[in-house]
């Protein structure tokens, strides 16, 4: 118990009044204090035992209110995607067979549907954490007629060109967030091409020749994506190299739209070039044009 003055009404008075102590455990009965101490100890022990479980839940990303995983590198399971595309590729360049005059290929976008017989490309990818493996294949077949430079041996040369390229490679993610992803990549690209030349009019009228070649190049580069919104993203890649060819390169830039969690539609533009010359066979060609397709992730 304590005493306090009555206050300003009687500042000089020495009278005291009784006042209860402030709220304090010391004012509690002894049995109540012992019970409260036991309850507090039980609460502390329960909280301490729950901490390891919360930590484990956070490490596994299973907490109900934990943020989403920052990127593919935090996931331990394999993720796959398959992307078939239609490539409306025009062809520009020079082809030559042993002992024949060079023929020029020149198909711009306006001539694609007249001269492009068939074109297809597709990508298969597997990713685990920061590492990925992929296969990129492309096939084109074009048929063009080209005037000869001098018109003596023939007035025109018909060219049927078929090309297959397949890139087998691997990648490592050097940057990965919810919005952006960048891989460094390297791999081997195998080429298999054939050209059929048919001469029209002139000395070589009705003469036809066919030749083919297969070779392998090593390439390196990058590929990445950048999300503009929850559904719209930019995508692309670029790589360059050489080997049996003097030069081998490929560039793609496009935009994708996520239709749902697994399926996206993609529109892009691709330019691919190669310069191969050996044993009288020459294939110095650039293929370019828009691509349209889908990407399915599972």
- Tens digit of each residue's pLDDT (9 = 90 or more) over 112-170: 666 677 778 999 999 999 999 999 999 988 877 665 554 555 566 777 888 999 999 99
Strand partners, 230: none
Q: DSSP 3-state assignment of 90?
A: strand
The answer to whether the beta carbons of residues 134 and 108 sit under 8 Å apart is: no
Q: Which fold has domain 72-297?
A: Lipocalin (2.40.128)
Please count the other Cβ atoms lying within 10 Å of the Cβ belonging to residue 276: 21
How far, in Å, CA of 159 to CA of 96, rounded?
10
Q: Among 40-44, 123-127, 291-295, which stretch is predicted with the lowest mean pLDDT?
A: 40-44
Is 69 a residue whose pLDDT tops 50?
no
Q: What is the mean pLDDT of residues 250-265?
A: 97
Whole-prediction pTM value?
A: 0.69
Is 75 a residue whose pLDDT tops 60?
no
The answer to whether the beta carbons of residues 275 and 287 sit under 8 Å apart is: no
Q: Among 100-104, 188-192, 225-229, which stretch is predicted with the lowest mean pLDDT?
A: 100-104
Strand partners, 106: 92
What token pair was written down for 114? Answer: 């007249």
Q: What is the DSSP letter of 73?
A: G
Range(s) within the chain of domains with CATH label 2.40.128.90:
72-297
């Amino acid at each position: 118990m304590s005493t306090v003055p009555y206050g300003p009404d009687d500042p000089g008075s020495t009278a005291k009044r009784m006042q209860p102590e402030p709220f304090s455990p010391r004012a509690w009965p002894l049995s109540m204090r012992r019970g409260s101490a036991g309850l507090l100890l039980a609460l502390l022990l329960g909280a301490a035992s729950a901490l390891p479980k919360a930590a484990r839940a956070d490490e596994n990303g299973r907490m109900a209110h934990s943020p989403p995983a920052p990127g593919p590198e935090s996931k331990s399971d394999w993720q796959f995607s398959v992307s078939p595309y239609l490539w409306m590729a025009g062809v520009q360049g020079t082809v030559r067979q042993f002992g024949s005059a060079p023929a020029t290929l020149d198909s711009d976008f306006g001539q694609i549907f007249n001269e492009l017989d068939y074109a297809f490309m597709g990508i298969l990818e597997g990713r685990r954490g920061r590492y990925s493996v992929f296969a990129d294949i492309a096939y084109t077949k074009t048929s063009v007629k080209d005037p000869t430079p001098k018109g003596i041996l023939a007035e025109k040369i018909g060219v049927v060109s078929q090309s297959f390229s397949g890139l087998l490679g691997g990648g490592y993610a050097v940057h990965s967030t919810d919005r952006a992803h960048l891989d460094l990549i390297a791999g081997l690209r195998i080429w298999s091409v054939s050209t059929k030349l048919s001469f029209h009019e002139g000395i070589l009228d009705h003469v036809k020749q066919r030749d083919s070649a297969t070779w392998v190049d090593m390439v390196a580069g990058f590929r990445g994506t950048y999300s503009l919104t929850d559904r719209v993203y930019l995508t692309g890649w670029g790589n360059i190299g050489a080997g049996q060819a003097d030069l081998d390169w490929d560039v793609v830039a496009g935009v994708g739209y996520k239709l749902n969690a697994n399926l996206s539609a993609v529109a892009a533009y691709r330019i691919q070039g190669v310069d191969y010359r050996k044993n009288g066979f020459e294939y110095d060609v650039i293929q370019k044009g828009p691509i349209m397709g889908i990407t399915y992730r599972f």
